[in-house]
Amino acid sequence: MDKTQHNYYAFQWHAIFLALAMTFTEINTVLPSLVVMVGGGAVLIGLLTAIMVGTPIIGQLLFASYLHMQPRKRGFLLLGIGLRVVALGAVALILLTSESISPQILIYAVFFLMFIFSLSGTFAGVSYTDILGKSLAVQQRSQFFVNRQIFTSVAFLVSAPVSRWVLGYSVYPYNYAWMFGLAAGLLFIASFGFWAIDEPEVTPARDAHSFLQVLREVPRHLRENPPLLHYILLVNLTGFGLTSMPFYVVYASHHYGLTGEQVGNYLIVQIIGMILSSFIWGKLVKKFGFRGVVRGCIFCGTLLPLLVLLLSGTPLPIFLSVFFLMGVTISARKIAFEGLLIEISTNTNRALYQGVIGTTSLTIALFPLIAGGLILWIGYVPVFLIVSLLVASAWFPVSRIVSASDV
């Protein structure tokens, strides 16, 4: 079998089992609902979202330059996924003993382990994108991202009913302990795909930089690579919509309450949206490229917070369309954003570019904390309206992003 085809299947293996694992700890439904169950509100949801989204960004800032200088990165990839397995397993064990500890200590412990989970994701994420970019043939990339989203969406659909059953059948905290335990086991199986990867050795560019050099060189990289600057604007502006999604569960709980069965329903509807839209995005990426799908993501992300406000208070089956659109938006982002980054970078500078992106994307890390405070101060409605406007403004940088092969 051709080496690139072998790597193609190895990455798909990982993607399928990762999807199965992540359903049980889904950041926009399961994790916020756990915080609400413990007694938390918008501020704690903001803190948890900042940890889950912001820590990898800060990690890219700190470690991407070091990883960039390594000719092989699979070892760091395996280290990252191993630490993530341990963190998820530890959360499961803590939840099993949560009846004997205070809710405050439980929150601290879970948040700390989620910090470890997210920080280790830096090694996994930077290494994954770099290895993926140099391990697949150029003509395989579009097909890979579309097929990955389809396969993972099917995996989501398989695991979502299981998640719903676990959340509804067992009582708190045992239902959430099962969720994290299953996630740890499935993530461990997903790592087998990385063991099978035949990683090419690529010597880093001669201008390989240390951490401090990366900070100093950010303005130069942005001047010399305008597509990178526009990509960073795109990531930041759409990131406001991405990091607002966990608040929709809290907002819904004020109108409909919150039970394990409801969380399971939110999750299933979101995943159905991901699956059905994957086929549409697959056709769009073939016709309009990754930028076309990004535009679709921006449109859906702009509409989403408005739909939350318009449908709040309507019967719950109608409000579920919010989570359907959430799945559509997430699907577009997963297909297009990583592919677009690979297009505007090369094998020698990809990891370094991720460090630059991390350096200039700290607003995404801080926004959930700010949003949680703003919600307490001015309420959900103004915050969601602001988010919609910010995401809509991301439309302008997209047309200026040109792939490295087109330059």
List of domains in the chain: 3-197+210-406 (1.20.1250.20)
Helix, strand and coil percent figures for the chain, each rounded to 5: 85, 0, 15
User: Of residues 137 and 339, which shows the higher confidence score?
Assistant: 339
- Residue 186 pLDDT greater than 80, yes or no: yes
- Residue 173 pLDDT greater than 50, yes or no: yes
- Residue 321 pLDDT greater than 50, yes or no: yes
User: Of residues 14 and 332, which shows the higher confidence score?
Assistant: 332
Q: Is the peptide bond between 56 and the residue preceding it cis, with omega within 30 degrees of 0?
A: no
Chain segment 219-268, per-residue pLDDT in tens: 777 777 777 888 888 988 998 998 899 999 889 988 898 888 888 899 88
CA angle 27, 337, 289 (to 5 degrees): 140
What local confidence, expressed as pLDDT, does residue 150 receive? 78
Which of helix, strand or coil describes residue 399? coil
Residues 6+ apart with CB under 8 A from 148: 11, 12, 15
Q: Is the peptide bond between 32 and the residue preceding it cis, with omega within 30 degrees of 0?
A: no
pLDDT band at 90 (very low <50, low <70, confident <90, very high): very high
Count of alpha carbons within 13 Å of 200, Cβ hemisphere only? Answer: 17
- Residue 207 pLDDT greater than 60, yes or no: no
User: Of residues 406 and 188, which shows the higher confidence score?
Assistant: 188
Kindly state the average pLDDT of the residues 52-59. 77
What local confidence, expressed as pLDDT, does residue 404 receive? 47
Chain segment 339-381, per-residue pLDDT in tens: 888 787 776 666 667 667 766 777 777 888 888 889 989 999 9
pLDDT band at 88 (very low <50, low <70, confident <90, very high): very high
**pTM, rounded to two decimals:** 0.76
Kindly state the average pLDDT of the residues 306-326. 94
Encoded amino acid at 254, one letter: H
Residues 6+ apart with CB under 8 A from 79: 120, 123
Averaged confidence pLDDT in the chain = 82
**In the chain, pLDDT over 90 holds for what percent of residues?**
25
Counting Cβ atoms within 10 Å, is residue 71 exposed (0-12), middle (13-18) or buried (19+)? Answer: exposed
- Residue 1 pLDDT greater than 70, yes or no: no
